[in-house]
Amino acid sequence: MSASANLGVESTTATRQPWASFHFLGTVDVQAALALQSRLVYEAGGRDDDRLEVLFVEHPEAITLGRAGSRAHVRLSDAQLAREQLGIHWVGRGGGAVLHQRGQLAIYPIVPLQRRGWSVGEYLARFRSGMSAALAELRVRVADTSDRPGLWGRTGQLVSFGIGVRNWITLHGAWLNVDVPPRWLQKVDACGQTGAAPGRPWAVSSLLAERQGPVTMTNVRSTLVAALAAAFDCPRHHVHSGHPLFRPALRDARV
């Protein structure tokens, strides 16, 4: 079933306005999520509308490395990786090392930049603005950390970004640590560097640690839908459980 939320007055003009579909997919293997994104980019390239699609996913345990990442940014030996059953995946996106785990929410927007008239820089600015607005709504103050990637609170990095662009359509996106177990948070270097300056710990943190109180994935997702719809200038948007192009057999697969 799908739940829908339409904002604004329906009219002939409104139906030509950009709109967004948000899809809650549950737990999905990293490779399956990449395959779905590639399919959606292909489908978006064949349409002439301004529809955006945003996937909300949790991944089983895995590590991805973007173009700025290297094996040195993973703080685990090969033996430890094998013991933890952690796979490393090199992916075609920006950013460095990201450790994925249940309790982390992956946000993957599929946005046709040319049809929206956006540069990659404007898209990134809108994306960051939407994520920041959602954190503010969740009573988390984003720190001014222009010297470090992602979005940071007082306890560390809460959001990491890593986008890709294929034929002027975006894929990959951002990862928000909601309630990731603390023992997982320091397994990769948050800033793509092998060490921090003295007195400047570059730790990875979570909303649970930042708020020091309960936080639910349901509330986080609904807050992000509203904030990203506004940031992407899509007053009309729909929320769905699942996606028609996603095969359920790929869900919950191990990496």
pLDDT at 45 over 70: yes
- The model's pTM is 0.87
Give pLDDT tens digits for 170-225: 999 999 999 988 778 778 886 654 444 434 456 889 999 998 888 999 999 999 99
Give pLDDT tens digits for 87-126: 899 999 998 889 999 999 999 999 999 999 999 999 999 9
Q: Is 212 left (phi over 0), alpha (psi -120 to 50) or beta?
A: left
**Strand, coil or helix: 132:** helix
Q: Is residue 177 part of a domain?
A: yes
Residue 254: predicted pLDDT: 35
Q: In what order do the strands lie in the sheet containing 151-153?
A: 2-6, 236-241, 19-27, 52-58, 104-110, 169-177, 156-166, 151-153
Q: Is 136 left (phi over 0), alpha (psi -120 to 50) or beta?
A: alpha
**What would the mean pLDDT of 41-58 be, rounded to a whole number?**
93
Q: Is residue 58 part of a domain?
A: yes
Annotate 70-120 with three-state secondary structure. Answer: CHHHECCCHHHHHHHCCCEEECCCCCCEEEECCCEEEEEEECEHHHHCCCH
Which residues on neighbouring strands pair with residue 238, listed in sequence order? 4, 21
Q: Is residue 8 part of a domain?
A: no
Q: Is residue 2 part of a domain?
A: no
Assigned token pair, 111:
């946005």
DSSP 138: T
The amino acid present at 98, given as its one-letter code, is V
How does the average pLDDT of the chain come out, rounded? 85
Q: At what angle do helices 120-137 and 217-231 cross, to 10 degrees?
A: 140
**What would the mean pLDDT of 14-23 be, rounded to a whole number?**
77
In the chain, what percentage of residues exceed pLDDT 70? 85
Q: Is residue 252 part of a domain?
A: no
**Strand, coil or helix: 47:** coil
**What would the mean pLDDT of 75-93 be, rounded to a whole number?**
91
Residue 139's CATH number: 3.30.930.10
Residue 196: predicted pLDDT: 43
Which residues on neighbouring strands pair with residue 153, listed in sequence order? 156
Q: Is residue 1 part of a domain?
A: no
Range of the domain at 132: 17-246
How many structural domains does the chain have? 1
Residue 47: predicted pLDDT: 87
pLDDT at 167 over 90: yes
Residue 190: predicted pLDDT: 66
Q: Is residue 199 part of a domain?
A: yes
Q: Is residue 137 part of a domain?
A: yes
Residue position matching structure tokens 């028609």: 244
Which residues on neighbouring strands pair with residue 152, listed in sequence order? 157
